[in-house]
Structure 1
Amino acid sequence: MAADSPHPRPDRLRALPSRLLGLASMRADRLIGDGLAAVGARKWHYAVLATLQEYGPASQSELSRRSGIYRSDMVAVLNLLADEGHVERTPDPADRRRNVITITESGRRRLAHLDALLADLQKQLLAPLDEHERGELVRLLRKLTGREDEEM
């Protein structure tokens, strides 16, 4: 049954927090994914650039841990970002078998552009909520995900 179906859903389905979270997640993923794709980016590109900007140069495995991107997927993400000039790979002076990844000036500009885009997309996603509700939603989601102690 399509999401825009005129047929009401059973009360049991409409009341399940897990289902509602799943629907909200699908909506958010679609909105963010489409918005990033429109400018030739993906969520993983943003995650790598944001991680490098915040924490500085890192090995591929460290980037994987900090960004949450699987190590097996990291190489493809870095290849694309390097091809676009957003990151540089250099041999690690302490261990020549490893590369150190650094964000470039082009990467910083790209990240600033993606930050602005994502801010707009977040506003679209949360448009039905007022400012207080938005803050409360974020607080509750952080609590549900066990992230309430992390600094913002």
Structure 2
Amino acid sequence: MDDVASIPPARLRAMPSWLINHAAITANRLTDRALAGTGSRRYHFAMLAALDEYGPSSQAALGRCTAIDRSDVAAAVNLIVERGFARRGPDPADGRRNIVTITAAGREHLEELAVLLDQAQGELLRTLSPAESTAVTGLLSRVVDDH
């Protein structure tokens, strides 16, 4: 058994949930490595991308659209605000909540992170052709969108 211990059993390799989980572990490792020298993490990229695409947003909405746990949203927003990548201020329509807005420095940082993450995506899917990579991304998007 020790000779084959590194080969997952066929029953596991036939389970999409097992495969997706192991692909996610690899993807997270590659992403963390790509961002290591930037002082940013995956959730900082996600927040900056959301602010860039959707515009100013409440912290709660940022958490929902990026699937970041609400207990982590405030700390992540604090960091991007401290680094000058976003600004936070009271919502003129509801003073009880804050609105977060991306800054020019935030857009620049977002583009720097995007280049690094594009390289990590390429490394993750390096055994696939461009058409296969597009197909995998499309199929995974459908699965995520359905749940």
Name the structure 2 match of 1:17. 16
Quick check: 23-32 or 132-141, which moved more? 132-141
Matches within 5 A, 1:98-113: 98-113=97-112
| Between structures 1 and 2, the one with greater helix share | 2
CA distance in 2, matches of 1:55, 1:28: 25
CA distance in 1, matches of 2:48, 2:12: 39
Letter of the 2:114 counterpart: D
Instruction: Quote the offset at 1:142 in angstroms.
Output: 2.1
CA distance in 1, matches of 2:69, 2:7: 40
Name the structure 2 match of 1:132. 131
Matches within 5 A, 1:10-89: 10-89=9-88
How many percent of aligned residue pairs carry the same amino acid? 43
CA distance in 1, matches of 2:120, 2:12: 28
- Where does structure 1 lack aligned partners over 5 or more consecutive residues? 148-152
CA distance in 2, matches of 1:56, 1:9: 45
Cα distance 1:102–1:18, how it changes in 2: closer, same or farther (>3 A)? same
CA distance in 1, matches of 2:94, 2:67: 23
- Where does structure 2 lack aligned partners over 5 or more consecutive residues? none
SS of residue paired to 2:111: helix
Aligned Cα RMSD in Å? Answer: 1.7
CA distance in 1, matches of 2:6, 2:99: 55
Letter of the 1:121 counterpart: A
SS of residue paired to 2:145: coil
Instruction: Quote the offset at 1:30 in angstroms.
Output: 0.8
Instruction: Quote the offset at 1:32 in angstroms.
Output: 0.7
Aligned length: 143
Quick check: 124-133 or 63-72, which moved more? 63-72
Name the structure 2 match of 1:150. none
Instruction: Quote the offset at 1:41 in angstroms.
Output: 1.1
Cα distance 1:14–1:88, how it changes in 2: closer, same or farther (>3 A)? same
Cα distance 1:65–1:14, how it changes in 2: closer, same or farther (>3 A)? closer
CA distance in 2, matches of 1:132, 1:115: 21
CA distance in 2, matches of 1:102, 1:73: 18
TM-score by length of 1: 0.85
Matches within 5 A, 1:134-149: 134-146=133-145
